[in-house]
Structure 1
Amino acid sequence: MTEEKTQRRGILHDANGKEISVPLRNVLPTTAKRVRYPGFKPGTELLKKGTVRMPGYAPLPVDIVFERDVPIKLSNGNTIYTDVFRPNDDKEHPAIMTMSPYGKEIGGQWLDDVKFRAGVKKNQTTGLHKFEGADPGYWVQYGYAIVNPDLQGANKSEGFIHFFGNDYGREGAEIIEWIADQKWSNQAVGMSGNSWLAISQWFVAAQHPKHLKAIAPWEGLNNAMNEVGTHGGVPTAEFVEILTDTFASDTDGVEDDIAAMQEHPLMDDYWKDKIVPLEEIDTPAYIVASYTNFIHTYGTFEGWRRISSKDKWLRVHDIQEWPDYYTKENEDDLRKFFDYYLKGETDNGWQDTPKVRLSVLNPGGKNIINREENEFPLARTKYTRLYLNDENRKLQLEPVAKENVLTYNSDDPKKRSVTFKYRFPEKTEITGYIKLRLWVSALDADDMDLHVTMSKLNPLGFKYPSVSGMEPVANGYMRVSMRELDEENSTEWNPKQTLEKSEKLQPGEIVPIDISIWPMGMIFGKGDMLELKVEAHKIGSMKDAPFASMFGSAKLEVPALDENYTYDPKTEHPKMVELGGDSEEVSSDGEYNIEHRMPKDVNKGRHAIYAGGKYDSYLLVPVIPPKD
């Protein structure tokens, strides 16, 4: 008889200090190859101008003081460790803190793991940065310190890794106050970074640390239940599992977000703790968004729209987030923002920057980039209903008179979706939030998991090729039993579910649902078609999940721990060690074949979509007239 494994537990605290018990799991130790931990070596070293960290990366533009594995004692008694890169002088400097559990440097995720490095050349950075974080080689030359902590549980830091929440924000706030207390600090701290590092900024800013003067969230969610754990109630846990298997901890491991999804299928205190109260944030913010990120799009636009900051700017780009973040032009733009708020350079012209710089995608043509606007969503938006016609599978401007029903089989991989098309009679821009109203029933079950997409087709009905590598598709999800609307916080164009209760479908019951489709900006030429696809969402095997065997695969060479951190490639030949190269190495808690860990979909048998007559199924699209 196999002994049943006991779930380890940890304690978090909500906004009022109330304890929340959370499940914990192991992750890989720092000795595992795939996590690429370079070793523990407290001390201070001068990194010389012209030296390099790794072959192929840019040489350092200036001398940098490097403080490694510096301890920070948190108020809960745990000690964490941070790296600090700062200018080689005795002056006081502002700092930029990059916050994630990925590792103070390199770590289990790195651009070399990704095909063509996602378009970021090695020599665009010095390689001193943590994954998705600010490059010290760039920032130190302009008088900034970069602080890269290993958060609780990460590598050698004590405690367990948090999947966000109020305690996570408090940890960041304590780090910021520690930075302000350092002798080299001018007591002005900013935060920067992409993805997890952007998410961190929302949670920390909501804590109002005294010395946090500016944030720059570069694409990141702020509602862990509705933007990563589930989308519209539909479990989307594959990415969470893959991400967790890149972490390393020699202490208490990580909060087990997959187990928590099973324990907490509905919105409750656990998930409420992981929602940022955006309206409480008043920190100056430089926000960057895109339309094509599965995890980040919705939350980034919501962050821009809902924070209370009087000083906030939005820039929407048209490529993938990593090349956008490490493009020098964008680094220079961000530096202008930080110079204003962290250095007090109030005459540098930053306040003349347009509040919104918008990109609009145009597959098959030329994208609009950095169009100046005053707000988002755009005030001149003309919301237009395109009604579903089940008879010809078209979308049309006029309501459909005759009631019709269209069915598909959710169990048939080749036939578990239906599409509707609308052909544009003239060039049209659709930019903003999108909603799909559907009338549905489950003919053979009591629930439905739906995934809907909106995309662009050429006049012949084919997709335009993707230029940036990110497919230009707007997405929406809903578990029909969790359809209850949050009336107080919903709008006609941005419906929100409460996710607080499950209302199973009765046999033969037909219900209306309002599905939020994430913001999109798209140009449709005359004759181009909008395609709406409605499909039964199926949770696949972890073995087939995207990126499942990618992270940790690249082998990187760095100087051995007993050598200098950087070296002159022309004159020095230090002993090198190889990090990485084993992407299949996973913890015993996280093997991809442990499918019972994963939530299941609820689809079974036939789904029916009703349109016409009393069934006003329609797609609400934000049509943008040209500027006056």
Structure 2
Amino acid sequence: MIMSRKNMIGAVLLAILAPQLLPAQQQQMTLHNVSGETFDVPLRKALPVDAPRVRYPGFKQETLILKAGTVRREGAMPLPCDILLERDIPIKLRDGVTIYTDVFRPVNEENCPAILAWSPYGKEIGGQMLDDVPMRSGVAISATSGLEKFEGPDPAYWVAHGYAVVNPDKRGAYMSEGNLLYWGHEDALDGCDVIEWIASQKWCNGKVGMSGNSWLTVSQWFIAAEQPKHLAAIAPWEGFCDHFRESSHRGGIPMPEFPEMIAETFSSAHGMLEDQPRMIVEQPFMCSYWEDKAARLENITVPAYVVASYTNSVHTHGTFAGYRRISSEKKWLRVHDSNEWYDYYSPENVEDLRRFFDHYLKNIDNGWEQTPKVHLSVLNPGGKNIVNRVENEFPLARTKYTKLYLSAADSSPSTSLPQKETISSYQSESRQPKVTYRFRMTKPTEITGYMKLHLWVSAPDHDDMDLAIKVEKLSKDGKPFFDPTGATIAATGYMRASMRQLDTLRTTEAEPYYTYTTEQKLKPGEIVPLEIEIWPMGLMFDKDEILQLTVEAYRPAAAAIPFGSARISIPKEGYTYQPGNNVDLVTLGGNENQCADPKEVVTSPATHNAGKHCIYTGGRYDSYLYLPVIPEK
């Protein structure tokens, strides 16, 4: 066949452009881990910077003095002092990629320490804001200045106390060059580059701390593990440390719903986005990629102020694990009883964090090191929570573990193994595929720490099963308790039966640890024991109140936080303005349903549930709930 000159030129151009024209899920990039091993990961499109949902306030390299008393937006806290703002400062990373950062610092030229907030959420405003969350999660607009990036420290407070706050757009975010990465060795090296850049600035005293919650906490685990020279202290405020085990594949079940929701909010002007939701469904076993998403916590030696809670469905386990496993000799844990955002911006907690940073970033002798190592909360739904109880460690050394043996469904567990064997079952596709067990407390009881469920099961109609476990407190008359959002207050666990293989070196009596490297399908008629990890919890029970255990067929839950929906008005020029002045404003946001490419959206894979699930108790089948009971001091 003879090809015309025009068609030949077109074919050549098509060949040159082909990599760019492939569907995003087929485009890949190569990453490497700390050992130098390389692996390919898929890429997807990110939203453009002019998409309403990402609320990008624009690229503008300028230096401003933000005057005391001015505001960033209507209703926000007025600035308590003058602030020097340097916008969109370029930072060249080790491989030549340029990213951009905002720096808020005192107007004088005295050296000061800096606090780094590392995330892809925008230097301020951005695609995720508390305004998108119902009731702003209890944080009033007036509680912060609006200069902070989402989940990060408020520059207005910290600059007023002699600190700089550095808010970068990490690699690939907004106008920063490159592809946008999740956590891992390469992203951590980027963070190290920025820390060393900060320390080299003439205004810096050479000491850098890190602060923030969620993504900003996860980043701290990874970056601190690389031991950058000028990182002096960290404050991880709720964040997982092993993405596979604690977020994407709890119990071996792929759970892309929450990561997909977050991925759809990201924006990049120059690159693409590491398609982690796709990796969740395409790489369901532990591999080099997922090993790179587990922080090397034992490498962390800097002082650490760690904050955790029992009720965060993403971060609870990882925050406690981070505190326990880091090698820092100077580390503190505080367990609160509210939510991560409310706790992070509460004035008394900000003041406490400043005492920590004052000591380690400013060398102020303020007695911080005499602070008790652990401040613990214990939840008491229907009553008064215990808050800030002083302890020496976590888990508590005085814990008395107790086995509650299960018998027939809807019956009361016992502290002794029932002799009679029973089988309880449900149809996994039914409207209420579950069984429950209730234990009425005979005296006031505290349960605080790690739980597990040892459960004998079979799936007569299938070769696998996905289970969801819930441990909660009920009132004396059997009614559940709810938090302010309407959710039940419960400790949870998940397990795919075929992923039950334990790592015998890391498993303890109270804490199962799975390999996730092999699949053990159920054989017809096979009855197997599962060791199901239940995340840490602290619960108080009064006499006659009820502990309820629920075993049910797992079903994916939609993640539907309307990020990008709130409309935020800020000044077109000048950054801040005097409250009440008539200034030209630009309004950002208002489209939470926008995504870069609907064809790239990752949906939940089918569960491994089909037909009947059977639970075996009593006699040969010692199914039990393992409880951490805490005696009084």
User: Taking structure 2 as the reference length, what is the TM-score of the superposition?
Assistant: 0.95
Specify the alignment match of 1:435 in structure 2: 452
**Contact kept? 2:409, 2:435, Cα under 8 Å:** no
Whole-angstrom distance in 1 between the partners of 2:487 and 2:578: 38
Whole-angstrom distance in 2 between the partners of 1:4 and 1:283: 45
Specify the alignment match of 1:208 in structure 2: 227
* Letter matched to residue 547 of structure 1: A
**Contact kept? 1:292, 1:470, Cα under 8 Å:** no
Say whether 1:127 aligns with 2:136: no
Whole-angstrom distance in 1 between the partners of 2:209 and 2:26: 38
Shift of residue 415 of structure 1?
A: 2.6
Specify the alignment match of 1:497 in structure 2: 514
Counterpart pick for 1:374 among 392, 411, 424:
392
Specify the alignment match of 1:353 in structure 2: 371
Whole-angstrom distance in 2 between the partners of 1:93 and 1:205: 21
Specify the alignment match of 1:573 in structure 2: 582
Whole-angstrom distance in 2 between the partners of 1:519 and 1:143: 37
Specify the alignment match of 1:558 in structure 2: 570
Whole-angstrom distance in 2 between the partners of 1:369 and 1:389: 35
**Contact kept? 2:254, 2:284, Cα under 8 Å:** no
Specify the alignment match of 2:617 in structure 1: 611
**Contact kept? 2:410, 2:435, Cα under 8 Å:** no
Specify the alignment match of 2:466 in structure 1: 449
Alignment deviations for residues 463-515 of structure 1 (CA, whole Å, 9 cap, x no partner):
12425766321010111101001111111011111111111111111111101
Say whether 1:77 aligns with 2:64: no
RMSD over aligned Cα atoms: 1.3
Whole-angstrom distance in 2 between the partners of 1:144 and 1:600: 50
Specify the alignment match of 1:177 in structure 2: 196
Alignment deviations for residues 409-463 of structure 1 (CA, whole Å, 9 cap, x no partner):
1111x23111111000000000000010001111111111111010000111111
Shift of residue 547 of structure 1?
A: 2.0
* Letter matched to residue 553 of structure 1: S
**Contact kept? 1:320, 1:470, Cα under 8 Å:** no
Whole-angstrom distance in 2 between the partners of 1:192 and 1:26: 29
Counterpart pick for 2:496 among 471, 479, 484:
479
**Contact kept? 1:25, 1:589, Cα under 8 Å:** no
**Identical counterparts, % of pairs:** 54
List alignment gaps of at least 5 residues for structure 1.
none
- In structure 2, the residue corresponding to 1:438 is in which secondary structure? strand
Whole-angstrom distance in 2 between the partners of 1:214 and 1:42: 30
Say whether 1:389 aligns with 2:407: yes
Specify the alignment match of 2:629 in structure 1: 623
**Contact kept? 1:406, 1:610, Cα under 8 Å:** yes
Say whether 1:63 aligns with 2:82: yes
Gap change, CA 1:69 and 1:258, over 3 Å in 2: same
Whole-angstrom distance in 2 between the partners of 1:392 and 1:33: 51
Shift of residue 230 of structure 1?
A: 1.0
* Letter matched to residue 36 of structure 2: G
- In structure 1, the residue corresponding to 2:323 is in which secondary structure? helix
Alignment deviations for residues 194-232 of structure 1 (CA, whole Å, 9 cap, x no partner):
100010000001000000010000000010111111101
Say whether 1:528 aligns with 2:545: yes
Query: Where does structure 1 differ by over 2 angstroms across 4 or more consecutive aligned residues?
Result: 3-6, 391-394, 464-471, 597-600
Whole-angstrom distance in 2 between the partners of 1:374 and 1:416: 42
Shift of residue 159 of structure 1?
A: 1.0
Whole-angstrom distance in 1 between the partners of 2:296 and 2:409: 45
Specify the alignment match of 2:7 in structure 1: none
Shift of residue 106 of structure 1?
A: 1.2
Whole-angstrom distance in 1 between the partners of 2:409 and 2:140: 51
- In structure 2, the residue corresponding to 1:456 is in which secondary structure? strand
Counterpart pick for 2:32 among 1, 4, 13:
13
In the TM superposition, 1:38-117 aligns within 5 A as 38-117=57-136
**Contact kept? 2:255, 2:604, Cα under 8 Å:** no
**Contact kept? 1:61, 1:137, Cα under 8 Å:** yes
Whole-angstrom distance in 1 between the partners of 2:197 and 2:129: 28
Whole-angstrom distance in 2 between the partners of 1:218 and 1:291: 13
**Contact kept? 2:254, 2:281, Cα under 8 Å:** no
Whole-angstrom distance in 2 between the partners of 1:392 and 1:568: 63
In the TM superposition, 1:164-563 aligns within 5 A as 164-345=183-364, 347-390=365-408, 392-412=410-430, 414-467=431-484, 471-539=488-556, 545-548=558-561, 550-560=562-572, 563=573
List alignment gaps of at least 5 residues for structure 2.
1-20
Whole-angstrom distance in 1 between the partners of 2:409 and 2:393: 39
- The farther-off stretch of 137-146 and 156-165 is 156-165
Shift of residue 587 of structure 1?
A: 1.5
Whole-angstrom distance in 2 between the partners of 1:456 and 1:70: 52
**Contact kept? 1:424, 1:527, Cα under 8 Å:** yes
- In structure 2, the residue corresponding to 1:283 is in which secondary structure? coil
**Contact kept? 1:319, 1:468, Cα under 8 Å:** no
**Contact kept? 2:256, 2:281, Cα under 8 Å:** no
- In structure 1, the residue corresponding to 2:351 is in which secondary structure? helix
**Contact kept? 1:320, 1:468, Cα under 8 Å:** no
Alignment deviations for residues 66-122 of structure 1 (CA, whole Å, 9 cap, x no partner):
010111111122111100000000111100000000111111111111111110001
Shift of residue 146 of structure 1?
A: 0.1
Counterpart pick for 2:43 among 24, 32, 47:
24
Specify the alignment match of 1:583 in structure 2: 592
Shift of residue 161 of structure 1?
A: 1.5
Whole-angstrom distance in 2 between the partners of 1:527 and 1:399: 22
